Amino acid sequence: GAVVSQHPSWVICKSGTSVKIECRSLDFQATTMFWYRQFPKQSLMLMATSNEGSKATYEQGVEKDKFLINHASLTLSTLTVTSAHPEDSSFYICSALVGGHRQPQHFGDGTRLSIL
């Protein structure tokens, strides 16, 4: 149980295009979803917290107009990287939470984004 599906797993695109990443909780309804960014050999950096039907809460230093988050339902959140540039290349990981802070977050397998 508690499976989170993230799609696509790998995307390569040209500079200036927008890329959408989907995060779905397959067998549960998520209270909250989170988006992280991970640089090579580094830890995860929280980008934003997303609740269904409300605006995402972005961490300090994360551009909300650059990284658009939509949380349309209790099982789906999307991250759109708008007008992507090479510096946006990274590994993006989503997670989903049902319940409070004593429950674990369940992670997707990540999306490797490469901007040429």
Partner 1 sequence: GDSVTQMEGPVTLSEEAFLTINCTYTATGYPSLFWYVQYPGEGLQLLLKATKADDKGSNKGFEATYRKETTSFHLEKGSVQVSDSAVYFCALSELAGNKLTFGGGTRVLVKP
Residues that bind partner 1 (CB under 8 A): 4, 6, 31-32, 34, 41-44, 46, 49, 57, 93, 95, 97, 100-102, 104-110, 112
Task: Render the burial of 49-70: b for 16+ CB within 10 Å, e for the rest.
Answer: bbebeeebebeeebeeeebbbe
Nearer CB in complex with partner 1: 43/54: 43
Could you tell me the smallest distance in angstroms from the CB atom of residue 8 to partner 1?
A: 13
Please give the Cα distance from 1 to 92 (Å, whole number): 22
Could you tell me the smallest distance in angstroms from the CB atom of residue 105 to partner 1?
A: 6
Could you tell me the smallest distance in angstroms from the CB atom of residue 57 to partner 1?
A: 8
Nearer CB in complex with partner 1: 82/105: 105
Q: Do 90 and 11 meet the contact criterion of CB atoms below 8 Å apart? A: no
Please give the Cα distance from 99 to 113 (Å, whole number): 30
